[in-house]
Chain A
């Protein structure tokens, strides 16, 4: 139920890149009604590093992910984002953030291409159909660009979520149960993406899969 680890992985700086991103989580706690989900979670992570949230079902991994992505407000504490040591305002974080999780859905009545156009435009990215087709191809969805998402299987929907999360090449990629609903081939593609992301950007993963845990340099273990 409570925290287990407070740490800092800022000490080793792997990158010489122009833009260095950091996330500072400070004493985060979350309570639903009177039930404490977790408390006193603190960490700092910067570009070129990765972090894994572990814990049994109901331990609050997804809630912690949602707090970090600012989908819900924490009961206590604060999550702050920095670019080159300058704090990014809450309403300016969207172009840098990518999230894939089972609870995030896309617009099923729109085609994959229409979904892409919406997400590219709202993130202030140029609409580049070739880039989109390349991503669809990488995720094994080539040729399905013009199909409405309601015709996709659950595994294909999960793959297309990766396409939408990666179109803007996010500096911070957060994956909640990254390979749920995916077959072996799909999981391999996701592992490649995770490997690429953690090399120069920030990767945060919430999982219990041993294959996925090894992508995190550091771990936060939540207890039930």
Chain B
């Protein structure tokens, strides 16, 4: 049993490594997300001008930016396999669970990597201050795992459809709502510098939602992956 689990994680790691390698060779997802985020950020920055926005506005703006930026690139992880007809090759060499875990981890790493650039840029361009920096980072960390989890399973579903691009954001949005609502609320509180205990309910929602999504995805993925 332990050997099987280790084998699963090892295979997932190999799928992850392959995707990282492919991404650095083509840079499709990185470019898509980064270009979307910077364009949107610039547009928001110009439209707001010198106004100093409160945390009630800044927090939703940050999460809208993160959500739509991730929607522009995270679906590529499965769409690329289907469009380049390598999905069958992958189906032939490893288990569905390894594929899901490898690709889920890739999306998490990609989203974290881009947040390292996007979030400081957002705070600097909006002139926003964060009082509770550790709570802010924790909310962002767990929220991103949730977003990447939703994006990965929805990407697997829409990669089988014909109108992939349009479907991805439309299908992901209602499923991501609990993450967005708790993320926005928690981020606002963190920006205002409240105590950790005040953000606990948002963190609980983010953690439990991410666990539910990943568990369901692992259970259902085989039916999505094998036609």
A interface residues (Cβ-Cβ under 8 A, vs B): 66, 69-73, 91, 94, 97, 99, 103-110, 114, 118-119, 121-124
Q: Are B89 and A109 in contact (CB under 8 A)?
A: no
Contact between B14 and A121, CB atoms less than 8 A apart: yes
Once the chains bind, are B21 and A110 in contact (CB under 8 Å)?
yes
Q: A106-B89, A122-B11 are in contact. Are A73 and B25 (CB under 8 A)?
A: no
Given contacts A73-B227, A91-B95, 14 further A-B contacts (CB under 8 A): A70-B91, A72-B227, A91-B97, A99-B92, A104-B89, A104-B92, A107-B18, A107-B22, A107-B84, A107-B86, A122-B14, A122-B15, A123-B93, A124-B7
Cα(A108)–Cα(B92), bound, Å: 17
Q: Say whether A105 contacts B11, CB under 8 Å.
A: no
In whole angstroms, what is the CA distance A124 to B9 when docked?
A: 13
- B84 touching A110, Cβ below 8 Å: no
Q: How far is the CB of A141 from chain B (nearest CB, A)?
A: 18
Q: Please, how many angstroms separate the alpha-carbon atoms of A105 and B91 in the complex? A: 12
Chain B neighbourhood of A103, CB < 8 A = 85, 88
Question: B89 to chain A: which residues have CB within 8 Å?
Answer: 104-106
B31 within 8 A of partner (CB): no
**Chain B residues near A (Cβ < 8 Å):** 7, 11, 14-15, 17-18, 21-22, 25-26, 84-86, 88-89, 91-95, 97, 226-227
Q: How far is the CA of A73 from the CA of B226 in the complex (A)?
A: 7
Q: Which residue of B lies closest to A73 (CB)?
A: B226
Partner among A71, A99, A104 whose Cβ is within 8 Å of the Cβ of B227: A71
B93 A122 Cβ-Cβ under 8 A: yes
In chain A, what residue has the closest Cβ to B90? A122
Q: In the complex, what residue of chain A is closest to B28 when comparing beta carbons?
A: A109
Contact B86 A105 (CB under 8 A): yes
Q: Is the Cβ of A108 less than 8 Å from the Cβ of B84?
A: yes
**Shortest distance between the CB of A1 and any CB in chain B (Å):** 21
Residue of A nearest to B7 (CB): A124
Cα–Cα distance between A8 and B22 once the two chains are bound (Å): 45
Closest Cβ neighbor of B102 among chain A residues:
A122
B7: which A residues are within 8 A, CB to CB? 124
Minimum CB–CB distance for B78 against chain A, Å: 15
List 21 A-B residue pairs with CB atoms under 8 Å apart, sorted by A's residue number.
Answer: A66-B88, A69-B92, A71-B91, A73-B227, A91-B97, A94-B93, A94-B95, A103-B85, A103-B88, A105-B89, A106-B86, A106-B89, A107-B18, A107-B84, A107-B86, A108-B84, A109-B22, A118-B17, A121-B14, A122-B11, A122-B15
If A71-B227, A72-B226, A118-B14 touch, does A97 touch B25 (CB 8 Å cutoff)?
Answer: no
State the Cβ distance, A39 to closest chain B Cβ, in Å.
19
Q: What CA separation (Å) do A97 and B86 show in the bound complex?
A: 17
Instruction: Point out the residues of chain B lying under 8 angstroms from A121, CB to CB.
Output: 14
Docked CA distance A182–B135 (Å): 61
Give A111's nearest chain B residue, CB to CB.
Answer: B25
Question: How far apart sit A73 and B224, CA to CA, in the bound complex (Å)?
Answer: 11
Q: Which residues of A contact B92 (CB under 8 A)?
A: 69, 71, 94, 97, 99, 104
**Given A70-B226, A73-B227, A103-B85, A109–B95 Cβ distance below 8 Å?**
no
CA of A192 to CA of B26, assembled, Å: 37
Chain B positions within 8 Å of A73 at CB level: 226-227
A110 and B25 within 8 A (CB): yes
Report the Cα distance A94→B95, complex, angstroms.
Answer: 8
